[in-house]
Chain A
């Protein structure tokens, strides 16, 4: 969002740097990279943070969670952002103790495009059946039984999936594998999987577009944004057997009022909880090598976790319940520079 420094300004800055200190105080630049989905939310937070802290700049490159992890491994950034908690393999790859701080909640919705049909309910079995390529037509009796009174059209199911590596893919594949363990060996798990059918497009916007254009389409996109864009989203069967449509309330229900750990909000056994819920995380090394930079990182994260940003309603994320962000703030005490904590213990 922030304008690229124009060439002229860049040249001036360079000149100022050459003329030495006193001309312009070079701000401290913190850099992060990673998840695309919450990037709009982050950009907005960072812009507000920069306004409140004139000496600090925060640069964020939305290269995807995997790219963020890769850059954190290469130690070229201060923090990375992911859509899902790191698994053991990813933690091992990063190689140093890190804090995973939840920043927001995400819900993944299954968007469908069926002429004349506005509500769709999917049991756990049919969800896997659809994405394993076994249910290929919308008038399949299995779907008909679950949607009494809904005239499902006689159309083939056109799956719309992500072709680029994505946390959304990982989330859906994880749910499918939870329901049917053989799914992970047949289709796969992780950020890129081999969907047995459908068309892959790049980015969640493209999924939404293709679903909107294709009768019979079924795709997965961030739920709240898709609903705002006018896409119909399916209600999914949660672990309790309830059929729950994605909404801010049903996504927050997965945290049980913020009482659950941020790593355990996915497919929970709670009343009214939507199953495809995750946290966005900021991942930052616990031990900070430079004192000044480390304390700036700590300030940024502390500020982010306390910023209950107004205007989030048009963003593709749900702000964390305050008890959860409070816990995350307390986690920040573990940030240290050579053993001494970077934040005062309150």
Chain B
């Protein structure tokens, strides 16, 4: 798709055909239109499903979720979703930022390229595999700590951490390498060690981009619904606690959407999907705005 022939003599010969430009423009417009259509269709579908069961709207913020008794509040699920995100982010951020800092600033140049390739591989690790691993290994460990059922939220936080750390590190690396060399060289010329140069000259410039990296990593983890549903314990009716099984906005979608048929149930699940969509869009747009202009290449 991407590799088109280099400018050929033939191409140069047919210069300036208006119809070519028109075809090109309408094709390109069609590409954008398709994206817009997909967005509109997703939004429209979910909003329509919510409107088909408007009676659930008043109770949507309540903490109780149990379709079996008709309690359809998403508050508790939203709480556990954000708790697992924050906890996972707290676990991942120091490791990811420090690791990226080392790779970009302190690592021997000869290992940088291969390690960067490995980091790129880590970004693409499928979430089902992470979920499988956390379910088997982490789940067993947590069960020993927190009793039978383990802790759904801690396991979910582990998945969030594992999914977001490589992304955070990858974007942070791009942010670090975008800092002009002149800043480092200036500090080193003044007698600073490499670490001091990073601390004094690089970090202050990179802070905004690093925040963006963390937000982007969390946006990625927010989308990994399936891995979280594998470990969170599958009991969304439970109050959000650190002990025992629980559920998140994404896990109820994974578990219940396909089989739901009552308008109220579908409306609630669609509302959960809308919340996830809004959160995902907000974090993604936010991180884009934070990183904008800081990285030289798209991360």
Contacts and interface: CB of A to CB of B under 8 A. Distances in A.
Direct contact of A and B (CB under 8 A): yes
A216 B71 CA distance: 30
A192 B234 contact: no
B256 interface: yes
A162 B67 CA distance: 14
The contact size tier of chain B is 20 to 34
Interface string A66-100: 11011001000000000000000110010000000
A192 B245 contact: no
Given A187-B68, A194-B66, A63 B259 contact: yes
Interface in B238-258: 238, 244-245, 247, 251, 254-256, 258
A131 to B, nearest CB: 12
A200 interface: yes
A190 B235 contact: no
B53 interface: no
Name the prevailing secondary structure of the B interface residues: loop
Nearest to B64: A194
Contacts of B115: none
Interface in A165-194: 165-166, 173, 184-194
B260 interface: yes
A183 to B, nearest CB: 10
Q: Which of B147, B229, B255, B265 has the most CB of A within 10 A?
A: B255
Interface residues of A, number: 40
A165 B238 CA distance: 16
A214 interface: yes
A199 B258 CA distance: 20
A200 B248 CA distance: 13
Given A164-B255, A164-B256, A186 B69 contact: yes
B68 A63 contact: no
B69 A194 contact: yes
A164 B255 CA distance: 4
Contacts of A191: 67, 259
A156 to B, nearest CB: 6
A192 B261 contact: no
A270 interface: no
Given A187-B68, A188-B66, A214-B148, A199 B259 contact: no
B68 A193 contact: yes
B237 interface: yes
B94 to A, nearest CB: 31
Contacts of A166: 259
B245 A198 contact: yes
A194 B73 CA distance: 13
B149 A165 contact: no
12 contacts: A66-B258, A67-B260, A93-B261, A156-B147, A163-B247, A165-B259, A184-B68, A187-B66, A188-B66, A193-B68, A200-B235, A202-B254
Interface of A: 63-67, 69-70, 73, 89-90, 93, 156, 158, 161-166, 173, 184-195, 197-202, 214, 216
Given A66-B261, A163-B251, A198-B245, 19 more contacts: A63-B258, A63-B259, A64-B259, A66-B260, A69-B261, A161-B234, A163-B235, A165-B258, A166-B259, A187-B69, A188-B67, A190-B68, A191-B67, A194-B65, A195-B237, A200-B234, A200-B245, A200-B247, A214-B148
Nearest first, the 10 closest Cβ-Cβ pairs linking A and B are: A188-B68, A200-B234, A163-B234, A194-B237, A193-B68, A165-B259, A194-B66, A64-B259, A66-B259, A70-B261
